């Protein structure tokens, strides 16, 4: 197994990054490109041995990193951001080749956001403060103490952006990190290790291990030296992680699945509503926040559907490296099989495919819209994670809210309406961690992010991230009792 592979002209190390060194494994897994199923390389496949080594490296590096000043930590995070910005083109083409998302999106939005993740949390660290307050003359001082080694397990749909959404605040907080990227898209995590080392991050502060969750993930999440676990992924995997962490009472942050509604009221700007709905096909529907359940008020349902079909049918699906492409492939043959299974079972149960409803050549699935679906059906209740939307109608606000909230999820919701008061009423009643009104996917790192119900546990972003990645301490000082003769 070669130590380095070349992906789109970029050299990528296939080994783990542990304690500031590249570490090989006896076993490997094969990484394929979803664009054409070509083999990208054999990637080091870690297990309990590598997990133990990575946690030990993070544990050993923790005291010195925790004692590093806020100013120096922030400087190093900015240096990592500088490194990302110098390599945006390389990171973009490697990630597109590895996970199939649009190259134009990686160049213009995703990779610049990776750099911004580091800059934001570096700057937020320097302003992190809570004003002292008095209790009957006693002074209370709140501080954020580094917690210790953190295990961060990240998904395949936006690998580097979502990894750094966790890595940046964890490092800023003074913690050390073991990052385990998804095995379907591991390559940019390896490049991040190189960038961090070049920026001067001390050995052991950031460790990257690769492999299958069942082999290395369990060893990481059950380790008694791990002080925080953050995971983005599916509900079943989250349950296994929570069970694994329970023995040590390790705090968890879980950002899980979604089955988000997009509510279109009759008073909405219909062109805007259609644009928002078609946008849900972004990244071939492989977005946890996607509003996959279109709920449209009855008087405009027919016209909305007509305009939606016209616009969605014009989307160009193909090679994500082509600037003209709007929708790329699904990540993996197993995911493609899962998506098609959902659709075929829905059609067999009486749903109608207005557009799509079938596979295309390779790992591509046609953008699909299903109507005539029952509220309690699998296709309405369970996350598909592909380019598949359903459309239902409603008669008024109460029914809209009832349908919107009638799943086990609560990650996000989108509301299209021309009535400001209605927007306020409806958004207040929706069960969701994020509600967008007449917009979609506007995210600010200052805002709390996370889900309700089975969409997650906890919130991250701004001070909420530091609240999770730190041990909060309140120090209470008496107004007297000092020795005035101490010199």
What are the catalytic residues?
255, 288
Q: Which of 203, 208, 197 is nearest to 151 (CA)?
A: 208
- 8 Å CB contact between 432 and 411: yes
Mutual angle of helices 88-99 and 187-199, in 10-degree steps: 160
Among 452, 347, 332, 433, CA closest to 386: 332
Angle, helices 462-469/111-127, rounded to nearest 10 degrees: 70
Q: How many CA atoms lie within 13 A of 269 on its CB side?
A: 8
The CA distance from 467 to 142, in Å, is 11
Picking from 258, 315, 168, 306, the residue whose alpha carbon sits closest to that of residue 441 is 258
Q: What is the CA radius of gyration of the chain?
A: 24
**CB-CB contact of 84 with 114 (8 Å):** yes
Cβ-based burial of 138 (10 A; exposed 0-12, middle 13-18, buried ≥19): exposed
Helix (H) or strand (E) holding 16: strand 16-18
Pairing label, strands 28-32, 39-44: antiparallel
Helices (H), 289-419: 298-312, 333-348, 378-381, 397-405
Reduce the DSSP state of residue 478 to 3 states and report it: coil
> 72: Cβ–Cβ under 8 A, 6 or more apart, which residues?
none
DSSP per-residue codes, 110-167: IHHHHHHHHHHHHHHHHH-----EEETTEEEEEEEEE---EEEE--SSSHHHHHHHHH
What is the Cα–Cα distance from 98 to 89, expressed in whole angstroms? 14
Return d(Cα 369, Cα 18) in angstroms, integer.
Answer: 46
With H, G, I as helix, E, B as strand and everything else as coil, classify residue 391.
Answer: strand
Instruction: Report the C-alpha gap between 42 and 193 in whole angstroms.
Output: 18
If 0-12 CB within 10 Å is exposed, 13-18 middle and 19+ buried, where does residue 35 land?
buried
Under 8 Å CB-to-CB from 478, ≥6 apart: which residues? 138
Three-class secondary structure of residue 369 per DSSP:
strand
Interhelix angle for 111-127 vs 88-99, to 10°? 120
């Amino acid at each position: 197994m070669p130590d380095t592979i070349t992906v789109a002209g970029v050299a990528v190390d296939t080994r783990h990054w542990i304690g500031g060194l590249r570490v090989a494994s006896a076993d490997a897994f094969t990484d394929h490109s979803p664009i054409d199923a070509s083999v990208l390389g054999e990637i080091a496949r870690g297990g309990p041995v590598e997990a133990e080594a990575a946690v030990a490296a993070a544990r050993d590096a923790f005291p010195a990193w925790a004692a590093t000043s806020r100013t120096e930590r922030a400087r190093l995070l900015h240096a990592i951001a500088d490194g990302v910005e110098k390599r945006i083109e390389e990171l973009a083409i490697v990630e597109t080749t590895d996970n199939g998302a649009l190259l134009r999106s990686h160049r213009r939005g995703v990779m610049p956001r990776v750099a911004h993740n580091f800059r934001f949390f570096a700057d937020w660290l320097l302003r992190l403060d809570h004003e002292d307050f008095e209790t009957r003359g006693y002074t209370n001082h709140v501080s954020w103490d580094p917690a210790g080694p953190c295990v961060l397990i990240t998904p395949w749909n936006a690998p580097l952006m979502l990894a750094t959404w966790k890595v940046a605040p964890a490092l800023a907080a003074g913690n050390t990190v073991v990052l385990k990227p998804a095995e379907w898209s591991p390559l940019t995590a390896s490049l991040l290790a190189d960038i961090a080392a070049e920026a001067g991050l001390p050995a052991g502060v950031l460790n990257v291990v690769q492999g299958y969750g069942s082999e290395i993930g369990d060893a990481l999440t059950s380790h008694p030296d791990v002080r925080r676990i953050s995971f983005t992924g599916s509900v079943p995997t989250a349950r296994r992680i929570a069970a694994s962490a329970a023995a040590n009472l390790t705090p968890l942050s879980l950002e899980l699945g979604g089955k988000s509604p997009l509510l279109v009221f009759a008073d909405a700007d219909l062109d805007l509503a259609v644009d928002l709905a078609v946008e849900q096909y972004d990244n071939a529907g492989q977005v946890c926040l996607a509003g996959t359940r279109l709920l449209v008020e009855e008087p405009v349902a027919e016209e909305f559907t007509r305009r939606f079909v016209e616009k969605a049918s014009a989307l160009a699906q193909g090679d994500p490296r082509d600037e003209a492409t709007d929708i790329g492939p699904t990540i993996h043959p197993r995911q493609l099989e899962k998506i098609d299974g959902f659709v075929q079972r829905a059609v067999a149960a009486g749903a109608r495919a207005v557009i799509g409803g079938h596979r295309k050549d390779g790992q591509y699935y046609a953008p699909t819209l299903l109507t005539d679906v029952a509220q309690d059906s699998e296709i309405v209740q369970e996350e598909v994670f592909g380019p598949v939307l359903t459309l239902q109608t409603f008669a008024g606000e109460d029914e809209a809210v009832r349908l919107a909230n009638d799943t086990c999820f609560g990650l996000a919701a989108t509301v299209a309406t021309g009535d400001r008061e209605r927007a306020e009423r409806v958004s207040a009643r929706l069960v969701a961690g994020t509600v967008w009104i007449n917009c979609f996917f506007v995210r600010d790192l200052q805002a709390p992010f996370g889900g309700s119900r089975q969409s997650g546990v906890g919130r991250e972003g701004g001070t909420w991230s530091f609240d999770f990645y730190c041990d909060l301490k309140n120090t209470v000082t008496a107004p007297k009792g000092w020795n005035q003769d101490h010199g």
